[in-house]
Amino acid sequence: MFHIYCPHCAEYREEEEFHAAGQAHIARPLDPEACSDKEWGEYMFFRKNPRGIHHELWVHAAGCRKFFNMTRDTQSYEIKEVYKIGEKPSVVAE
Amino acid sequence: MTQQNRLQSGGRIDRSKSLTFTYNGKQYKGFQGDTLASAMLANGVNVVSRSFKYSRPRGIVAAGAEEPNAILQLGATEATQVPNVRATQQELFNGLVSQSTNGWPNVDTDVMSVLGKVGGKMMPPGFYYKTFMFPESLWNTYESLIRKAAGMGRSPLENDPDFYDHINQHCDVLIVGAGPAGLAAALTAARSGARVILADEQSEFGGSLLSTTEKLDGKPASEWVSAVTEELRSYDDVMLLPRSTVNGYHDHNFVTIHERCTDHLSDIAPVNQARQRLHKVRAKWVVLATGAHERPLVYSNNDVPGCMVSGAVSTYINRYGVVPGNELVVTTTNDYGYQSALDWHDAGRKVVAVVDTRANPAGERVDAARQRGINVITGSAVIDVQGSKRVSGVSVAPISADGNKVSGSVTKLSTDTVATSGGWSPVIHLSSHTGSRPIWNDEIVGFVPGPTVQKQLTAGGINGSYNTNSVLSEGLEAGLKAVAEVGLNAAEVILPIAEDVKEGAAMTLFHIPHVKPTSQAPKQFVDYQTDVTAAGIELACREGFESIEHVKRYTAMGFGTDQGKLGNINGMAVAAKALNKTIPQTGTTIFRPNYTPITFGAIAGRNCGALFDPKRYSAMQMWHVERGAKFEDVGQWKRPWYFPQAGENMQQSLDRECLAVRDSVGILDASTLGKIDIQGKDAREFLGRIYSNAWAKLAVGKCRYGLMCGEDGMVFDDGVSACLGDNHFLMTTTTGGAARVLEWLELYHQTEWPELEVYFNTVTDHWSTLTISGPNSRKLLAELTDYDLSNDNFSFMDWKQIKVAGVPARVFRISFTGELTFEINVQANYGTHVWEKLFEAGAKYNLTPYGTETMHILRAEKGFIIAGQDTDGSVHPFDLGMGWCVSNKKPFSYVGKRGMNRQDCVRDNRKQMVGLKTKDPKMVIPEGAQAVLDPNEPIPMKMVGHVTSSYWSANLGHSIAMGFIKGGLDKMGETVYYPLVDGTVIEAEICSPIFLDPKGERQNV
Amino acid sequence: MSDLNVMTAAEMAATKAAVMDQVPGPEIQGQSPLHHADLDSLAKVGPKQGGVHLREHKLLGHLTLRLNPENDDQLAAAERVLGVALPLQPLTSVENGSYSVRWMSPDEWLILVPGLEAFDVESKFRDEMGGHYSLVNSSGGSTVLELSGPDVVELLKRCTPIDLHPKLFPVGKVVSTVFAKSSAIIRRTGEQRFELVIRRSFSDYIWLWLQETSREFGLVVKV
Ligand SMILES: [Zn+2]
């Protein structure tokens, strides 16, 4: 059970208030029609599965309903930081 | 009954409060303050179980959570049966009823004991491992055999009369264990103003101080314990939890505590009191002050009742006033082992000898024993025990200085009790729950907590500190650190001082040699509960298992309900010796939640019966209940499924409901549909990007059906959205999809298109939706409104804001049945009013309530899909024959467009939605049935599709079905076959899924 | 919008957002989500002593306001309508007489007003406020429970994982959170008094849950 700081509510809440929404920073191609099947497939289906630092998209589903990003260590489960949509992570894998 | 082992005075029991209890049908007496175990020992009960594999009689070994043998069944009635209770932790109460569990039919005369000798061969070590290699189907057979033979306790056959509680807690510092370290930490934190939770599994705080003769500041240790406890109780922000086992340590300092609130009072909890409580704690810092468990030595027949760990003997004497035997032999590798001899002697019973593996023991306790005239035999060990249901004597022999072999002749001593001490194992379980791997410490000969990412501190025995003064100061230090970390100023705490007892060095020894090699010596038990012996571990090593994790799985060591608290380190030592490695080289030892077994009641808490899962109701629920509706689960909603009348079965109800809608008028409670209010000048643009069809030109006052696809092009939800105002839409979703769709819209808005000016809000619960459908629906509605409902004024796919039965309403002329339909939406507080008014006016039209099943049939007659039933995430709009609902003219590449055009989505021969008409009109194809082209093809047959919806249509007089067929849209009129499990084959013709009114005339009148 | 039965499409289009007085005249009594529980009778015949007191504030006007908190014009307009500024600090609330406003999200507030005033307030917003915003009447979708008494915190700890310690959850704080496996908006209105806004469809379940979890304290239903 994670303890997650919501950057919008500005306090820690229990994991059960949140939904994980997959890998963060997957931008929708601006011109999908210009994408080859391979490119579209990359966007649609391929995700990282790192051991260690990972950037994830979460939503405070039972709270403010806002999405935000989280940098998390998938091995230790430490949450290194949370940051709002549009912001860049400050903790990144080496 | 006499309590022959009870002392006249001493201990923390109340001799004025006599309690009666039952063990295996026999009545005994004990005192307030006893555990079940101490009371059994007071009464001279020797055998408490039969062993798992060899069916050997077993007695009480320990005095706490580590007890492997005294695992009893409790309960005076069928409903109050509790398995898996450790007698050493169960407080005695008047009327307690207990049973042994292992052994068949009882522990004293065991039919298995004859087989027991054979049992060793029947189930050699590796039984589990080897059995798993058999075909899986055999495993069930073996498992039931093992369970029957072992008797693991049983669950009650009646409902538990008690209730169990769950509670959420928050604190600055959670302190686990209220021994000297925990109390010092708690006092420091509490005095400094921290929010503190102090939890201890025992009935009273004090831990080791409750059973010691040691003094603090020259006074009995219990005085300090009382003073500290009292001070802690005076702080508002301190929560004291006795009888509370910290059972699990999870990520981010989330900790579960199992509190036994009334287990010590009676068989059934007092009225309105929870029996047990599970605390879910989020702690900023956790201080583990869990102490250590004494390690028994491994010698032959060390499981005969009367063999105990030394500290437990002291605990029974000092805390409970019980001397668990008449004569004592101690076998030890260290000074602490002498303590039980001193206590035993001082209690006035005979100490036969202390047998010390060290050649030259020197320490204050050794001196004290000698001063009392106790026979101290050095450089020797108890290598074997005589007796079956109780120790009758021991074999003592000198051993070599390295402890590896017997170095002299064996002498026999007569005794009924053996106390053993091989040193201490820190209780590191909780620290390893979050994945931290313990590390070996040669100095203390044990594992200590390893590095962790948790905000965790440790103090006292868990660190391998056993001297009371260091334990106290480690507690204080942990308290100070925690206080500083949470940003508080530390208050002053002055610790009491214990007398320092000088100790000689301990010898590192786990496995006592026998005159015979281990494989031929009488059994030397390592793990009592799973009957793992030293010989078994050596065999595992010989068979090539080198990692301790593999050895454990091969032998089942540590797999009992006690998780091998006593045996794991000894087992690792035996394996290390056999493999010629050090203990840390064989691996480490990991424990998982829960620390001790927890009841299902505590896990379930209030989440049972009516509260098992939330049930969602519409505003008209009471009406449905009163009309005898049968309900269907749709997500968490309870929706009326059908409304049977007296004497009707389900199909008869459905037939009647279906005919009523097509002949006159029916009413459906559609309130559960997801409803999302969308406002903003870009609302229309947003809909166009999310739905597959066009929204740019939908006028105010109009409704439109839309399909929602994922980026892969696959349909995931659908519904009608209405244009309420230029900048205002009301979207409807499927009942089950409401929350998911709202989150989907927010996802795209917040992460992809934040520049679009639009807001989404759920209004699902706000509106009651009353759907009247059928040729007479207009006449019915006209009775409740003055508004002109004519087709010219209020056309199909219009919505109007009118009053219905005096209540302001938004009425949508949309249809899911294919009939003339009005969906009346009113604020839910008025839903029942309008519903009832409709029935008052509807009697003359035979207004018939219908449920979800009739709704499903009626829409299937029209070939309308249900997202989630006819779609499964692998079909796009064209597969559904719904290309009309896809716009390729929209400038923006809406969600799903690119996905739909992937190579795989545009290939030939995809499965396509078709109608299916059975050759025998009475046959209804089961949903999920697979289609084949040739029913005589040998198995495996080539499957070309499956049925997604299938019903009996009373209106048409034949069955109808929808389903997928490869290339189905080009196969109209062809025949497919559905072979069923029972051997029958249903023949069906591929047809249009629209079985009724293909031109849509009925809904457009 | 004098007579909604004769409003033309053009009139409706002109409003951009469709506003509607959803409450009929006084001759039709609305039914709150807990109507079937008949709390009024329980208040009469039920226990009078207990550690937790429950009262339903039913049929209030619930309005959800969404706007950009950086738009000063809109903030000023909201203050004109409500007589009090929107709380911009996360998890806070403000009151003005019978109006109360809860921060729900950086761009969302829940406003409670007397039931019959919902349409007036909504109309005032439409008159006063320009630009991009949304206002939704959700009065039928929820109800308000007031829980109070010496054991109220103990009870709430059995329902929600939120930390209710007075230092971290002072009077006026509001959170939207999980509650009894569903959800609730919880606001502290006194040292031992809380207000819950719960969803209609879950209200029966929450009512059952509160009865069960208050067993150790005793539940007193009040009118
Ligand atoms: Zn939030």
Average pLDDT in the B161-185 region? 98
pLDDT surpassing 90 at residue B721: yes
Average pLDDT in the B719-737 region? 96
If you measure from the C-alpha of residue C161 to the centroid of ligand 1, how many angstroms do you get, rounded to a whole number?
Answer: 15
**Cα–Cα nearest to C210, from C168, C155, C132, C166:** C155
Partner B, chain C 168-187, Cβ-Cβ below 8 Å? 168, 180-182
- When scoring B893, B904, B905 by the number of chain A Cβ atoms within 10 A, the one with the most, hence best to mutate, is B893
Q: B854 with B648: CB under 8 angstroms?
A: no
Cα distance from N-terminal residue to C-terminal residue, chain A? 27
What confidence score (pLDDT) does residue B124 get?
Answer: 56
Tell me whether residues A66 and C106 touch, CB distance under 8 A.
Answer: yes
pLDDT, tens digit, 9 for 90 and up, residues C50-99: 999 999 999 999 999 999 999 999 999 999 999 999 999 999 999 999 99
Tell me whether residues B746 and A85 touch, CB distance under 8 A.
Answer: no
pLDDT surpassing 90 at residue B245: yes
Could you tell me the fold of the domain covering C37-222? Answer: Gyrase A; domain 2 (3.30.1360)
Average pLDDT in the C201-221 region? 97
Tell me the longest C-alpha to C-alpha distance in chain B: 115
Q: Which residue of A has its CA nearest to B742?
A: A65
Q: Which residue of B has its CA nearest to A30?
A: B893
pLDDT surpassing 50 at residue B119: no
pLDDT, tens digit, 9 for 90 and up, residues C97-132: 999 999 999 999 999 999 999 999 999 999 999 999
Partner B, chain A 9-68, Cβ-Cβ below 8 Å? 14, 19, 21, 27-28, 31-33, 35, 37, 40-41, 43-44, 57, 59, 61, 65-67
If you measure from the C-alpha of residue B747 to the centroid of ligand 1, how many angstroms do you get, rounded to a whole number?
Answer: 14
Q: Which of B679, B700, B802 sits opposite C13 (nearest CB)?
A: B700
Average pLDDT in the B380-400 region? 98
Quick check: helix, strand or coil at residue A85? coil
What confidence score (pLDDT) does residue B90 get?
Answer: 98
Beta carbons within 8 Å of B267's beta carbon, 6+ residues apart:
B75, B76, B77, B80, B95, B96, B97
**Domains of chain A by residue range:** 1-27+49-94
**Domains of chain C by residue range:** 37-222
What confidence score (pLDDT) does residue B532 get?
Answer: 94
Tell me whether residues A77 and B453 touch, CB distance under 8 A.
Answer: yes
ipTM, two decimals: 0.98
Amino acid at residue number C212: E
The neighbours of chain B, by the rule of 3 or more Cβ pairs under 8 Å, are A, C
| pLDDT class of B560 with cuts at 50, 70, 90 | confident
pLDDT surpassing 90 at residue B138: no
> Hey, what CATH class is A1-27+49-94 in?
alpha beta
pLDDT, tens digit, 9 for 90 and up, residues B401-436: 999 999 999 999 999 999 999 999 999 999 999 999
What confidence score (pLDDT) does residue B52 get?
Answer: 78
Task: Spell out which residues of chain C touch residue B832, defining contact as CB-CB under 8 Å.
Answer: 31, 35
| pLDDT class of C27 with cuts at 50, 70, 90 | very high
Beta carbons within 8 Å of B1002's beta carbon, 6+ residues apart:
B775, B818, B819, B820
pLDDT surpassing 90 at residue B149: no
Average pLDDT in the C198-217 region? 97
CA dist B176 and B171 (Å) reads 13
Q: Which of A14, A37, A85 sits opposite B751 (nearest CB)?
A: A85
What domains does chain B contain, in order, with CATH numbers?
1-159 (3.10.20.440), 164-292+426-485 (3.50.50.60), 296-422 (3.50.50.60), 516-594 (1.10.10.1100), 621-667 (no CATH), 669-840 (3.30.1360.120), 859-991 (3.30.1360.120)
List the structure tokens of B875.
Answer: 């079909």
Please give, rounded to a whole number of angstroms, the shortest distance from the CA of C176 to a CA of chain A.
5
What confidence score (pLDDT) does residue C4 get?
Answer: 46
- When scoring C3, C6, C8, C12 by the number of chain B Cβ atoms within 10 A, the one with the most, hence best to mutate, is C12
Average pLDDT in the B269-277 region? 97
**β pairing state of C193-199 and C142-148:** antiparallel
Average pLDDT in the B333-337 region? 97
Beta carbons within 8 Å of B564's beta carbon, 6+ residues apart:
B527, B529, B530, B557, B558, B571
User: In C, what residues contact A, Cβ < 8 A?
Assistant: 90-91, 104-106, 108, 161-162, 175-178, 183
Structure pTM?
0.94
Average pLDDT in the B530-559 region? 91
CB of B898 within 8 Å of a chain A CB? The answer is yes
CB of B611 within 8 Å of a chain C CB? The answer is yes
pLDDT surpassing 60 at residue B798: yes
| pLDDT class of B243 with cuts at 50, 70, 90 | very high
Average pLDDT in the B167-196 region? 98
Q: B905 with B754: CB under 8 angstroms?
A: no
Task: Spell out which residues of chain A touch residue B746, defining contact as CB-CB under 8 Å.
Answer: 59, 65, 67
pLDDT surpassing 80 at residue C9: no
**Cα–Cα nearest to B957, from B926, B994, B996:** B996
If you measure from the C-alpha of residue C176 to the centroid of ligand 1, how many angstroms do you get, rounded to a whole number?
Answer: 9
What confidence score (pLDDT) does residue B754 get?
Answer: 97
**What would the 3-class secondary structure string for C78-134 be?**
HHHHHCCCCCCCCCCEEEECCEEEEEEECCEEEEEECHHHHHHHHHHHHHHCCCCCE
Q: Which residue of C has its CA nearest to B702?
A: C9
Amino acid at residue number B97: V
Average pLDDT in the B315-319 region? 98
pLDDT surpassing 80 at residue B74: yes
Tell me whether residues B168 and C157 touch, CB distance under 8 A.
Answer: yes
Please give, rounded to a whole number of angstroms, the shortest distance from the CA of B896 to a CA of chain A.
10
| pLDDT class of B123 with cuts at 50, 70, 90 | low
pLDDT surpassing 70 at residue B159: yes
- When scoring B251, B692, B894 by the number of chain A Cβ atoms within 10 A, the one with the most, hence best to mutate, is B251
| pLDDT class of B942 with cuts at 50, 70, 90 | very high
The neighbours of chain C, by the rule of 3 or more Cβ pairs under 8 Å, are A, B
What confidence score (pLDDT) does residue B511 get?
Answer: 98
Number of B/C CB contacts below 8 angstroms equals: 186
Q: What is the DSSP letter of B817?
A: S
